[in-house]
Amino acid sequence: MTPVTARRVLITGVSGPLGARLAARLAADPGVEHVVGIDTRRPPAPLADRITFVEADLRRGELAAILRVAAPQVVIHHDITQFPEPGRSRRHLHDLNVIGTLQLLAACGEVAGLRQIVVRSSASIYGSSPDAPAFFTEDLARSATLRTRFQRDIAELERLVDAFARRHPAIVCTALRLQPVIGTALDTPIMNLFRAPVVPTFLGFDPRLQLLLDEDALGAILAAVRVPVRGPVNVAADGTVSLARMLRRLGKRALPIASPVYAPTVRALARAGVVPAVDDDVVSYLRFGRGVDTTRMRAELRFVPTCTTVEAIDAVADRLREERAAA
C-alpha cells in the first residue's frame, strides 16, 4: 500500500464493518502515527493497535473537545447511513446524516492543522429515472430531481461540505459518491436481496446496474487520503450489467411484478418473510438503474478499482455459494 501522507487520522463510523477495516488499513500504514475512531456503539471486535476508540454521538456537543485532543490532520467522515435500523424512523436517519455532518464540520473548523476532510457520500444523489443520462458526471447532481429522503439528505450533506470548503480554503474537502457497495460482510438491502430466494423485479424493465466491491470502496477512500482532490468524485467499478444478467450470475430467480402493484406486493411479501424489505432508493435503482462517469476518479484521484462490476458480482456470488455450502 502506498504510504498515506497524514500522520493522524480521525474516522467516524468506525464500528461498522467497513469502518473497522478502514481504520485497520490506516493503522497498518507506517506513514500514519495514530487513528482515532468515533462511533455511537462499541466495535464488535477489538480494534487494531494504534487505534483509539471514542464513544460519541456526532449530533452532540462534545465533538469539538474530542477533535481538539485528537488533533487530526485528516478527518474521514464514514458515518453516513442510507438504511434505517429496525424501529428507527427516516427522521432519525436525517439527524444522523445531516445534523451529524453539520456538527462534525463545526468541530473541524476549530482544529488547527487540519488539512483534509474525506466524506463518504453516495451516487444516490443523482437518483434513478427513465430520462437519466447513461453516465452521470459530477456536475449533474445540481440539476437532479430529489425524489427520495436519502437523496435529499445526501444533497444537503454535500451542500454543507461545499460551504465549509469555501469558508476554509486551506482544507481540502472531498466527497466520494460511491455506487452501491456489495460484499458478504455487509448488511444492506441489496445484499439481503442477493441472499433472498427470489428477487422482486419490475415487469418489462431490465436496467443497467453499476456496483462496487467493498474492498474497492475502501481502496477509493484510502486513495482520497493519499491524493487530496477538491469537490465530488464518482466512485464505481468499470462497466455495467443488466439486472437479468446479474441475477443469472448470482443464480437467483426473478419475480417480475407489474409497476402499479410493485410496492404493495413487495411489502406483503416482506411481511410474509419471502423477500427482504426494499428501500425507496433501491426500488428506483432496480427499476431504472444508474451509471456514473468515473473519469475524475481515474485522472485526479488516480484510483482504479480492482474488479469490474461483473467481477464484483462474481466474487460475491462465489462467496455466497461457499457460505451456503458451509451452512
Domain ranges of the chain: 8-186+211-237+292-306
C-alpha cell at 303: 484510483
- Residue matched to cell numbers 441489496: 190
What is the pLDDT, as a whole number, of residue 83?
A: 67
Residue 87 has pLDDT above 80, yes or no: no
Between 47-56, 82-91, 93-102, 153-162, the lowest mean confidence (pLDDT) is in: 82-91
Q: Please state the rounded mean pLDDT for residues 210-226.
A: 97
Sequence letter at residue 60: R
CA distance 278 to 202: 13
CA distance 298 to 283: 29
Q: Please state the rounded mean pLDDT for residues 261-275.
A: 93
What is the pLDDT, as a whole number, of residue 7?
A: 86
C-alpha cell at 288: 431504472
What is the pLDDT, as a whole number, of residue 50?
A: 87
C-alpha cell at 203: 415487469
What is the pLDDT, as a whole number, of residue 1?
A: 54
CA distance 74 to 173: 10
- Residue 160 C-beta-side C-alpha neighbours within 13 Å: 22
Q: Please state the rounded mean pLDDT for residues 38-58.
A: 89
- Helices 280-288 and 149-167: crossing angle in degrees, nearest 10, is 100
In this structure, the dihedral spanned by the alpha carbons of residues 246, 132, 284 and 180, taken in order and rounded to 10 degrees, is: 50
What is the pLDDT, as a whole number, of residue 94?
A: 84
CA distance 87 to 89: 7
Per-residue pLDDT tens over the stretch 278-297: 888 999 999 999 999 999 99
For residue 226, what is the DSSP state? Answer: H
CA distance 120 to 180: 12
More confident residue, 292 or 50: 292
- Residue 185 C-beta-side C-alpha neighbours within 13 Å: 9
What is the pLDDT, as a whole number, of residue 44?
A: 81
Q: Please state the rounded mean pLDDT for residues 74-84.
A: 86
More confident residue, 258 or 82: 258
What is the pLDDT, as a whole number, of residue 296?
A: 98
pLDDT level of residue 89 (50, 70, 90 thresholds): low
Q: Please state the rounded mean pLDDT for residues 166-189.
A: 95
Question: CA of 173: how far to CAs of 15, 103, 105, 157, in Å?
Answer: 23, 16, 11, 13
Question: CA of 305: how far to CAs of 123, 163, 285, 289, 312, in Å?
Answer: 16, 30, 22, 20, 10
CA distance 183 to 312: 8
pLDDT level of residue 88 (50, 70, 90 thresholds): low
Instruction: Calculate what percentage of the chain has a pLDDT beyond 90.
Output: 80
What is the pLDDT, as a whole number, of residue 43?
A: 87
CA distance 66 to 8: 13
C-alpha cell at 30: 507506517
Instruction: Calculate what percentage of the chain has a pLDDT beyond 70.
Output: 96
Helix (H, G, I), strand (E, B) or coil at 100: helix
Q: What is the mean pLDDT of the chain?
A: 92
Chosen CATH of 8-186+211-237+292-306 out of 3.40.50.720, 3.90.950.10, 3.50.50.100, 3.30.450.20: 3.40.50.720
What is the pLDDT, as a whole number, of residue 267?
A: 93
Residue 92 has pLDDT above 80, yes or no: no
CA distance 6 to 32: 6
What is the pLDDT, as a whole number, of residue 324?
A: 86
What is the pLDDT, as a whole number, of residue 269?
A: 94
Question: CA of 119: how far to CAs of 30, 79, 170, in Å?
Answer: 23, 9, 17
Q: Please state the rounded mean pLDDT for residues 193-205.
A: 94
For residue 46, what is the DSSP state? Answer: P
Helix (H, G, I), strand (E, B) or coil at 123: helix
Sequence letter at residue 38: I
Nearest to 130 by CA among 207, 60, 200, 190: 207
